[in-house]
Structure 1
């Protein structure tokens, strides 16, 4: 092994032809390719490898690597990109323009670009020279649509005292519309009755050209004439490992009672008290799946923990504290496991928890309806009406069996087991409910986008009165 510039010992690890083995042309060719790739990954763009054969009693093979000059990386060239820029690709992959390339891991660069969310497909990067002789990283990419519309619709059949109605959520995600990886999301949710919510979020993956992702979000909810709730949140996060993000969060929220919410119950307390709160916390997210739309193996984990202080409206007639400490925890997990053939198993869970310090004398005064979690429906507990349950601790465990039908199309059967802990509210005692749900569904890949349909039941529903949910996802 002979090299012009790089230590020859560094190359020996990739030599496929071993001493004492029969000389095979394919082993020699594989070694030459591996030597060239290794040299180029170290910034020697003009490197080439040759094999010198010396016949005798045994064949002596000398591999020679001619590296040429070591160059600094000038830029990233994205072939096939219309919006994303080379500067964005540099930051997303952690490369620095002008510095000599050392130990380039092209597979890691490819994964980093995929994780950025700006591309539907990313080819294997390769070092090359441009027309002026500068060193560039050439990457073939395919961008997704600049925006995605995701709508989940459900129909609630008529029941006692209520006519049938359509409920659901419509969401628009703009992914890197200006090429810098920035994103914007808008969502509108229509719940049963006169309840609705709106949310908007914007994020920048490299705020002030730093490797820090910053995001701002607004959420507003109106619950007929009971209350209105608003929340403004911000977070700043860093990527600490492939697929793993750690973030700091802060939020400000307020609850304003409506006409029905201000009415006092038999205990003298209003149904909803006016309040405001500050929260701060940390969030951890990990995503490692083989497909974003139809995973067959991998893990998704997201969790956040917040600590805050809530100030409630003072009540002259009752000596209750107006400032209380609160803690909130959110967690989501999904595990995808390939089974026999095209079968895939999915297990996971979701949980949300709100705790209020015991400064107030009873549970009835520690919690307020306007601060609790709504639970049930297509995105939380299938087989039940949207937002039909209310609690300070809600969650579900789920299991799915999916049968792949090609591409992103699959059919599935599922089972959910939900749990809702409702605290004492006024004169209504607290309770814990266990809520099973089950059903079947399918996700179909069509020319317009993804279409998913679910038919869900619970033990109290006859088979003919299941909950039907339709999801449509298409690009703009």
Structure 2
């Protein structure tokens, strides 16, 4: 649902009954989105860097509730991911998810079960079979994962209140062994009319020896440390926080100021800041962000652009 416009409330046939009339605008279930990152040359000898990502999502195939997701990333990893979701297994509120992922030197096939306790709480668990090229040798492993998510935002596209919390645990066993744990929280506070303060904090830790490079956490780019190139920082641990002050301009749109803090190698803390805009309509959306890393001049920032269309 994209929007609900209340029309009238009528008295029902019983004393404890009312009839609510509204005009419901249904959101498009399909979306194609492209993301582009531009980083100017750091030195006179270096070159500008251009990175890109493409997402294709269909969340309600032919009205059945089935979903498809495709993702492609440029940069060094050349990552490709494909996911398919089959809802209501055996007539229960349990979804079956199939996943295929490939990037440089790594392939993964996964299956998981997702249980939605209600519209706000989600529990998932599953396993995947992984093949990786490490030090010239082919390695195989099985990963077991479990996670929880709670979402009590008032409006997911452009929240003014509420919060989102998540926790995930993964264990990999086979030719290489490791554990992964992540926590995340995002809080939205209405400060003044059409103004919102958004605060986020995310933590992650890997446990194990000789951790493969494709398992490392990464920071930098449009979704984490804006103002740094995509995946600029990598490490076995991760701490990231963001602050945005938003000026709402429409149902799904806002302008914002931001500050990002993060590290994959404590105690070295990175910081970035900047401005941006998110413009949303039923037919698509545009995200534009200009970020400055520590030490950047005002004209030497990074531009992150995301353009999507719905179908």
TM-score (norm 1): 0.59
Give the structure 2 partner of residue 334 of structure 1.
Answer: 186
Consecutive unaligned residues in structure 1, runs of 5 or more: 1-29, 41-105, 107-123, 126-138, 223-227, 263-272, 313-323, 357-364, 422-430
Q: Within the alignment, does 1:229 sit opposite 2:106 as a pair?
A: yes
Cα gap change, 1:35/1:370 in structure 2, threshold over 3 Å: closer, same or farther? closer
Specify which of 160, 164, 169 is matched with residue 53 of structure 2. Answer: 169
Give a deviation string over 1:393-437, Cα, whole Å, max 9, x none.
11301111001122222110111110113xxxxxxxxx6521111
Within 5 Å, which residues of 2 pair with 1:322-361? 324=177, 326-356=178-208
What number of residue pairs does the alignment pair up? 302
C-alpha contact 2:67 2:85 (8 A) present in aligned 1: yes
Specify which of 211, 217, 224 is matched with residue 373 of structure 1. Answer: 217
Q: Within the alignment, does 1:304 sit opposite 2:168 as a pair?
A: yes
Within 5 Å, which residues of 2 pair with 1:131-210? 141-160=24-43, 161-191=45-75, 194-210=76-92
TM-score (norm 2): 0.88
Give a deviation string over 1:368-387, Cα, whole Å, max 9, x none.
43432232111122111111
Specify which of 436, 443, 455 is matched with residue 271 of structure 2. Answer: 436
**Alpha-carbon distance in 1 for matches of 2:283, 2:66:** 25
Q: Within the alignment, does 1:469 sit opposite 2:297 as a pair?
A: no
Specify which of 208, 211, 214 is matched with residue 96 of structure 2. Answer: 214
Consecutive unaligned residues in structure 2, runs of 5 or more: 1-8
**Alpha-carbon distance in 2 for matches of 1:301, 1:447:** 27
State the structure with bigger RCO (CA 8 A, min sep 6), 1 or 2: 2
**Alpha-carbon distance in 2 for matches of 1:433, 1:234:** 37
Cα gap change, 1:197/1:416 in structure 2, threshold over 3 Å: closer, same or farther? same
Give the structure 2 partner of residue 402 of structure 1.
Answer: 246
Displacement of 1:210 after TM fit?
2.2
Give a deviation string over 1:110-169, Cα, whole Å, max 9, x none.
xxxxxxxxxxxxxx58xxxxxxxxxxxxx9754322411122211121234542232121
Report the RMSD for the aligned CA atoms in angstroms: 2.5
**Alpha-carbon distance in 2 for matches of 1:332, 1:180:** 31
C-alpha contact 1:249 1:283 (8 A) present in aligned 2: no
Within 5 Å, which residues of 2 pair with 1:259-270? 262=136
Q: Quick check: which one's helix share is greater?
A: 1
| Structure number, greater radius of gyration | 1
Displacement of 1:309 after TM fit?
1.2
Specify which of 120, 126, 142 is matched with residue 249 of structure 1. Answer: 126
Q: Quick check: which one's strand share is greater?
A: 2
